[in-house]
Chains A and B, each alone.
Chain A
Amino acid sequence: MPHDIERNKIPPTGKLSPFNFPHFKRICCENGLKVLLVEHTSLPLVNLELYFKASAMVDPAGLEGLASLTTELLAEGTSSRNSEKIANELEHFGIEYSAYADWDSIHISLSTLSKYVDSAFEIYADIIQNPIFPKSEVNRVKAEYIAERQRVVDSIEKVVSEQFAETLYGDFRYATPLSGTIDSIKNIEQKDIKDFFKKYFYFKEAVLLVTGDISEQQIKSLIKKYFTKKGNRPLYKIPSLTYNKGMTTAVRIIHKEKAQQTQVYIGHIGIERTNPDHYKALLLNQIIGGYFLSRLNMNLRQDKGYTYGIHSNFGFRKITGPFIVSAAVQTENTTAAIKEIISELRRITEKAVSDEELSNAKGYFTGVFPIAFETAEQILYGLATIETYGLNDDYFRSFREKIDKISKNDLLEAAKEYIHPDNLLIIAAGDRTQIEKLLSKSFNIEVYDLYGKLYDES
């Protein structure tokens, strides 16, 4: 059948099908545990995520990494199972388990075929309620953490990211990696871990997120059967933010001998996740460096070929995270790339974005929405976001509407408020013999080594 095609014309769009973030149920349990449930029966899987509101932010000074270490060690021995038995039982059923602490919470996740949910839940509850943190396991995991810290210098991206955080946040917890430093990990003892667990792992402070092939009745009875511990409400305070406000636009070079590229980080303090302007910040970031069509990518990659990829990002946390532009750029274009990035950051604060830029970025958020909630993990992530940041239950259901209301002028105001082209922290990690001379013609520079010390040529 011959078709009448005009290949020069963009095809018309079909009929829009509605979609929204799934409705979820809130369930309250006797022991104070809150449960959020999305039933999702298309595949025989159940995903669980328990999270506690303690985080790396409550690590005591000098014991940074304690939240991470405690969380990691939960599955390394309980009063009735040793580390090996836990691994054997979980993995024998094909159950996937993981746990980590970040800046805003502690997450303990599990994914299982629905036919094994009872066994899975029993082990899960044991890990969460009865860990004993055996000394041998504590020492082993500490040694692994320390070795991990020792090899950070292998990865130029990690080096830059950590020195960026350290310089930006000074004495604040964010300045030190989540998993601590070699010294702080060495300081942590079994007793600190046990104390941390006692203090912060209470069901009253926890939320259990559940998705998959499981009913409200089933999850309630599993909780009743296995989550038997209660406990008092913990008392703790998250510290308030102090950071280095006196930043100037100087460039810190981190010297890596014979580096094949320069890893660049440029940025400053961003905005906190709970700020109502975060919708504007999202849209603004999208246009600056959030996707392929962004100004930074179109300029530095697609126009100039300086880099394979460049990105910008607001680190949204409860307490103000950073705004960072990052790229690995060709050594000989290091200075030119840094200048282009600064000039793009300046431009966004001086003149409103075009209609096309605004509609593309809005179109992206609207259209990608259903793709972003296709899997159980993605839905859990959505639920965790609502809970972690105390957002309204209809946060995702009203998301697209909120984005749609933002105007060009709103974005210009947001850029003036949240992007600071005259107050940037700039780090460029590469071979100083290749980049220092040219950079010093345009910027004040300081040279550091991979360990964050002033570079000493001898």
Chain B
Amino acid sequence: MNLKIEFEQYCLDNGLNVILHQDNRLPIVAVNLWYHVGSRNEKPGKTGYAHLFEHLMFEGSEHILSGKHFELIQSVGGVLNGSTSFDRTNYYEILPSHYLELGLWLESDRMGWFLPALDNDKLNLQKDIVKNERRQTVDNQPYGVWLEKILEMVYPENFPYHWPVIGYMEDLNKAELDDFKDFFKKYYAPQNASLVIAGDFEINQTKNYVDKYFSEIKNLASLPDENTHFNDFNSGERRQTIKDKVQFPRVYFAFPLPFIGHEEMYAADLLSDILSSGKSARLYRSLIHEKQICQDAFAALLPLEKSSLFIVMVTAKPGISIEKVEEETLKEIDYLVNGEISDYEIERVKNQLAVRKVNELQTVMTKADLLNQFSTYFKDANKINNDIDQYLGIDKKKLQKTAEKYLQKENRSVLTFIPASG
């Protein structure tokens, strides 16, 4: 099957990377803008600022009054949002295609003319909203602090994945206007951004729009410092136990691995599927179906630019001790290292992967986001077309070697939640 994503890529004089992908099936268009900045560009004591900054970007810019961004897009049936991760921040609109120019105008204004509209009232309001977001999604959720605890355990204090994207409450409280002015000046400029337009549009007209709205935006003086890759693997087991208001105990295992795009990252992604991609996968078969000691069991890979994380999560069934659950889960992880991986399993996870990849191509938004991902992390948008080959090329030997290298006791952090009594 030919599922090649055709695109055209070019750069404006100010350094803005532009990628155009046409798909005329529906009269809609996605505008997807990535800034290569995330929580890893923060400093300890000032965590959560990249994400709080993203909130401020929806509060207006010099030519667009506060609140107008949402109004102009939603009142014509557009969908919009932004998201902040460890390595990048994205902003997007999906619009009826005849509103493309509107989307580009809005994005260009906050890229070029954001600071004149920024003030303390906006910052204070968004601080309140983000603190409520943290309460709702972390502090008031069962097991809600799991990821931030894992990050603190796995990565050293000076490594920029040591803290959570949403940030710590005390840091959010301290945030001041100057922090965000500096943040903008340092990171929000054309040469640190990438714009994808995907969907139903006319190519020359669109190039003209991009030029019209973005080319006069000035560049920044220097690019931000690059962090280095994480290399401190197998530095000893770490363990922590937390009491939480939950009914059942749960344990998380986390193993640091090489960065996104590394061959061993692809292998680890497949290993996580061997453990948990469905009811025929090992964790379900063993812990839920046969032994019936777990209520849920899950493995996943979090691929990031400087280091990926292999995570396994299992929850005990009522009456089953967490020690037993840990022991049986570790047997499954150890079996990846020491046991056999069958050809049948490898075929399964590769077939499942192929279906997932085809499904991703259904929406212009996902295609746009993927083009930006490959372009931003690998400086090669065409990797969207051979990403799947990276996975298919992984053989049994590579899987076993990767498991052997990284899924060892010395490389793991173990976080256990136990129910707080009363």
Interface residues of A (CB under 8 A from B): 1, 3, 5, 7-8, 10-19, 42-45, 83-84, 87-88, 90-96, 111-113, 140, 143-144, 147-148, 150-151, 153-156, 256-261, 291-293, 298, 301-302, 305-309, 328-330, 359-360, 363-371, 373-376
Contact = CB atoms under 8 A, between A and B. Distances in A.
B200 to A, nearest CB: 7
A388 B18 CA distance: 45
Contact of A14 (B97, B139, B280): B97
B247 to A, nearest CB: 4
A402 B331 CA distance: 60
Interface stretch (B70-78, B229-237, B262-270): B70-78
Nearest to A146: B318
B139 A374 contact: no
B224 interface: no
A360 B68 CA distance: 12
A364 B70 CA distance: 11
Contact of A328 (B77, B132, B245, B347): B132
A360 B74 contact: yes
B276 to A, nearest CB: 11
Interface stretch (B4-12, B25-33, B185-193): B25-33
Among all A-B residue pairs, the 6 with the closest Cβ atoms: A367-B77, A305-B128, A17-B27, A94-B351, A368-B77, A87-B279
Contacts of B363: 374-375
Given A94-B355, A370-B27, A261 B98 contact: no
A449 to B, nearest CB: 13
A120 to B, nearest CB: 11
B279 A91 contact: yes
Contact of A143 (B213, B277, B279, B317): B317
Given A91-B281, A257-B245, A261-B132, 18 more contacts: A10-B102, A17-B97, A43-B362, A92-B351, A95-B355, A143-B317, A151-B246, A151-B247, A151-B248, A260-B140, A293-B70, A305-B125, A330-B131, A364-B74, A364-B77, A367-B78, A371-B77, A374-B362
B136 A328 contact: yes
Nearest to B136: A328
Contacts of A373: 26
A140 B289 contact: yes
Contacts of B292: 140, 143
A25 B104 CA distance: 39
Contact of B96 (A92, A291, A330, A370): A370
Contacts, number: 212
Interface string B250-277: 0000000000000000000000000001
A118 to B, nearest CB: 16
B67 interface: yes
Given A87-B278, A374-B364, A96 B355 contact: yes
A154 B246 contact: yes
Interface string B53-74: 0000000001100010011101
A90 B278 CA distance: 10
A360 B354 contact: no
A293 B74 CA distance: 8
Contacts of A306: 128, 132
26 contacts: A7-B109, A7-B113, A11-B105, A13-B98, A13-B99, A14-B99, A14-B100, A14-B101, A16-B96, A17-B97, A19-B27, A83-B279, A88-B348, A111-B359, A140-B289, A144-B295, A151-B246, A261-B135, A261-B140, A308-B136, A328-B132, A328-B136, A329-B132, A366-B77, A367-B95, A371-B77
B211 A43 contact: no
B142 interface: yes
A147 B105 contact: no
Contact of B295 (A3, A44, A147, A370): A147
Interface string B106-134: 00010001000000000011101111110
Interface of B: 1, 3, 25-28, 62-63, 67, 70-72, 74-79, 94-102, 104-105, 109, 113, 124-126, 128-133, 135-137, 139-142, 200, 211-213, 215-216, 245-248, 277-281, 284-285, 288-289, 292, 295, 317-318, 344, 347-348, 351-356, 358-359, 361-364
Contact of A156 (B62, B140, B289): B140
Contact of B318 (A17, A94, A150, A293): A150
A13 B132 contact: no
Given A87-B278, A302-B67, A15 B246 contact: no
B358 A113 contact: yes
B75 A364 contact: yes
A10 B72 contact: yes
Given A143-B317, A293-B74, A365-B77, A91 B280 contact: yes
B306 to A, nearest CB: 29
A144 B130 CA distance: 35
B48 to A, nearest CB: 14
Given A87-B278, A88-B280, A330-B135, A11 B75 contact: no
Contact of B98 (A17, A95, A112, A153): A17
Contacts of A369: 77
A360 B363 CA distance: 25
Contacts of B355: 45, 94-96, 111-113
Given A14-B98, A306-B132, A330-B128, A91 B74 contact: no
A360 B344 CA distance: 54
Contacts of A13: 98-99, 101-102
A291 B71 CA distance: 10
A363 B76 contact: yes
A15 B98 contact: yes
A261 B285 CA distance: 38
Contacts of B281: 91
A83 B289 contact: yes
Contacts of A91: 277-281, 348, 352
